[in-house]
Each structure stands twice: as C-alpha cells, then as structure tokens.
Amino acid sequence: MLTAAPGRTRRRGRVAAFVLSILALIGFYCFAKFVPDLQHRALWLECLTIGPYLLAVLTFSRLRPTFRTGILLVLGIGLALQLIAMADPPTSSDDDYRYLWDAKVQLAGIDPYRYAPDASQLAHLRTPFFFPDRVNCAWPIDHGSACTAINRPGVRTVYPPVAQAAFDLIRIVSLGGRGGHLPVQLVAALGAIAIGWLLARRALARGRGLWPAALWSWCPMVSVEFGNNAHIDWLGVLLCVLALTSEAARRSGWAGALVGAAIATKLYPGLVLASLLRRRPVLVLSCASAVVVLSYVPHMIAVGPDVIGYLPGYLHDEQYTSGGRFLLLSPWLPPSLALVAAALALAGVALWVIRHTDAAVPEDSAVVMAAAVTLVSTPAYGWYSLLLLALVAMSGAVQWLPVALVGSYFYLVQGDFGLSPTLGTSLYGGALALTVLIWASRARPASPRRQRAGAAAGAGTGRPRCGGRPRSVR
C-alpha cells in the first residue's frame, strides 16, 4: 500500500493548521463584533482573537508559500479584518470626532488651534453629528445645557500640523464630511494595508519571508484601532517605516524629512530619530527640523504660542509631568524621582542606540528604543504601541511583541472595570516578564538536528519562498 511522504504529510498538517487558525481568527472576530448585547465587546474581541492570531502567524511562517500566494494571503486577510472593523462606528474611542471637527473648523477659515470646540465663536459650525441631543451626555457643554460628541470640548486641539493636513484632505475628499465616520475609517484601514505592503517588501529584502507583514496585518489591534477607531497614528507609523527604509537605502535626507513629518503627525514617532543618526546625523536632523518648523509656521503666524494647543495639559492629565504615569518605576520610587529615573533611563537607551545602530538595518535599534519608551512611559492607550508593533514586524524582534500588545488590554480593562492601583503595573510587568522569557528561548543555540532540518529546508526548489521562520535579531 502506498503512503504519503513524511514531508508531504507534514505540509498538509501545517496547511490545515493555518486554515483553521485563520477561520478561528475571523470567526471569533465576527462573534465578538456582531453578537447583540455583548458586554465588554472590545475586550472580548481582543481576548478571543489573540490566540488564533498568533497561531496563524506561526503556521504561516512554516508554510513557505510563493511570493504571489503569500502576499495575497497577507494583504487579503488583513483587508478582510479591516472591512469587518469598518462595519460599525468607532466602539472604544471617540477621537475621530476631534479629527473631523478640526478639519471642519480649518476649512471654514479658522485656525484649529485658536478655539476649543465649545467656544461661542464656533457656534455657527455646530451640527447634530458633532453636537447631538443626548439624554446621557458624556461631554456636556454650555453649563450642561448642550452636549457634544467631541472629547475634552473645553480645550484646544493637541494634534500637530501634518495630522491637521490629513484631516483636511479627508474632509475634502469626502465632499465636506459626507459619510460620517466612514471616510476616516477607510483611510486609516488603507493606511494599515499600505504599512503591511511596506513591511512585506522590507522583510523580503532581509530574507525573512512574509511572516513579519502578517504579524502586522493580521493583528486584531491593528484593525480595531485603524479600521474601526480610525486613529491618525497610522500616518505616523507609515512615515516612520518609510523613514527607516530610506535610511537603509542610504537616502538620509529623505529619512530626515519623513521622520520630521511623522513627528508633526503625533510627536512620539520622534523616538525613531536616534536610529537615523548613525550615517549623516547633521543632514537627518536638519531635514527633520525643517519639516517640523515649516509645518508649524502658518499656524504660529495665525495664533502665536497657542499653537502648542492642549499638549501641556495632556501631559499633566496623564501624570507624565508629575511622575505618576511611570507604572514600572512608581511602586519603587517617589514620583519626582521616578520622573528623573525615567529621563535618565531613556537618555541612556538613546545614547546606546545612536552608538550601536547599524545604518543598513536601523529598525533593529529603533525597536529597542520604542520598547524602552513603552516600558518606561507605560501608556494607557493601545494605539500608542502600534508603532512598536510595526518595528517588531520590521526587525523580526518578536520578543518585544508582549510589550507592543499589552497597552491595548490595559486601556480596555481600565475602561470597563476602572483603574486599580496595581492594574497597569501588573500588566506591564507581566509583558516584560514574557519578553524576557521569549528572548531567553530565542537566544539558546539550535540543536544539531534543528540546524540540519533548517539547512535542508533552505535548499529550496528554485521558486521564491516567502514564509521563512523567524530568526533572532542581534
């Protein structure tokens, strides 16, 4: 009796595991998304999908498909998740109301940094979409006599000029904001797909196959925060990926300009700047500074120092200026010392990055800088960590994946159940522990049997293969 070759049997098993994991990922996503009256919907979605997501990426990394098949799977599944996410309005964030309002104000000829949304000078711009008549009002204005959907309506915008330009462009393309949330959701979803494409190209250039792009494109947090919540962070991440790719291609001027545009989108993407200074630091800094300054000049002419917006208040409200936000430091240090320790720690990491970056692969040090900033600043908003997720995918340093994902769970648990004194510390401490365990397991040398198996798999058949297994980044 004829039997299938062992290699063919193993491949069929991997294909079956991959298909089942993708079906589970999409199935759980739809279940949590569309089951009526499901409490803690967003938290259920991310808890149910994290396992199938990781299994899907792992099995995909072992399949080694051809390029055409691999890229269709990576971008096709990612697009499907984004489309599902766009099926209803934002569920766990209301930031897009501010985006759309800022664009409406600016295209009406008023600088968005001049007035807060509840200002009487902007009353003529109010519409039911932004100022609905609600019984249970989350953001009351005019001493409680009116309501708005825009968060923090009493403060001026915090979003920098490149983000403001993106808001304006979306409003123009959508013919004055037609479609409500959908245009900004669609643009964010397309931005996430574009990032996936760039990550695929970079992974292939480094000989890793397409699994890093799947790590990004199939992540439930990516579809939730972009396709559903429509956060403008997609633009900052896209510009950072382009900047690092440009530096690797020895185009330092472009790298500086792109990272400058990223900083003028959301500020925190500036953390990748240290990884761009190895080859031509003066050129990179000059181009980055020029883009940031030029983007602010029109607004400074219009409103002067008010261009800084709500940024100081935001840093105060989030307890960064007092030192209370540094959740892995504050249990051991007084707030004032925690602030000093955080600054010294990040300065030390930045110095190490500047001195040890390989200009041909700047993402390998950028991911360390981003992970350090995340662990020190312990943000309570998951979308702030999606830049780190992109850098994990770009570098292949999967040991930092728990740190990239934990912020989303922190945000949802805190929103659903309230903030306990130890919640953030416990979650970020657990993510750090998982990172150490993954790093230790990857740092162990492969056994001779696994080395021989890897060599045999690398012999190839002459066709381009795109699903190679993850490798350690040194």
Question: Which two tokens mark 119?
Answer: 């200002």
167 and 100 in contact (C-beta within 8 Å)? yes
Helices marked H in 357-422: 363-377, 386-395, 401-417
Q: What is the mean pLDDT of residues 216-234?
A: 97
How many CA atoms, within 13 angstroms, populate the side-chain half-sphere of residue 85?
33
pTM above 0.95, yes or no: no
Confidence band, pLDDT 50/70/90 cuts, at residue 289: very high
Q: Output DSSP code: residue 445.
A: P
Picking from 196, 194, 195, 167, the residue whose alpha carbon sits closest to that of residue 183 is 167
Domain ranges of the chain: 65-91+183-446
- pLDDT tens across 122-158, in order? 999 999 999 998 777 889 998 888 899 999 999 999 9
Confidence check: pLDDT of 472 > 70 = no
Between 67 and 348, the higher pLDDT residue: 348
Cβ-proximal residues to 138 (8 Å cutoff; 6+ apart), any chain: 94, 147, 149, 151
Q: Is the pLDDT of residue 218 over 70?
A: yes
Question: Is residue 205 within 8 Å of 249, Cβ to Cβ?
Answer: no
Q: What is the pLDDT of residue 318?
A: 87
Which pLDDT belongs to residue 448?
Answer: 55
pLDDT at 319: 85
Q: Residue 11 — pLDDT band, cuts 50, 70, 90?
A: confident
The rounded distance, in Å, linking the Cα atoms of 435 and 263 is 28
Q: What is the pLDDT of residues 357-414, one digit of tens each?
A: 999 999 999 999 999 999 999 999 999 999 999 999 999 999 999 999 999 999 999 9
What are the tens digits of pLDDT across the range 303-345? Answer: 999 999 888 998 888 889 888 889 999 889 998 899 999 999 9
What SS3 class is residue 331?
A: coil
Ramachandran class of 178: left when φ > 0, alpha when ψ lies in -120 to 50, beta otherwise = beta
Tokens of 208: 């890793």
The CA dihedral of 138, 144, 149, 152, to the nearest 10 degrees, is -80
The CA-CA-CA angle for residues 403, 433, 21, to 5°, reads 60
What is the length of the chain? 474
pLDDT in tens, 17-66: 999 999 999 999 999 999 988 999 999 999 999 999 999 999 999 988 88
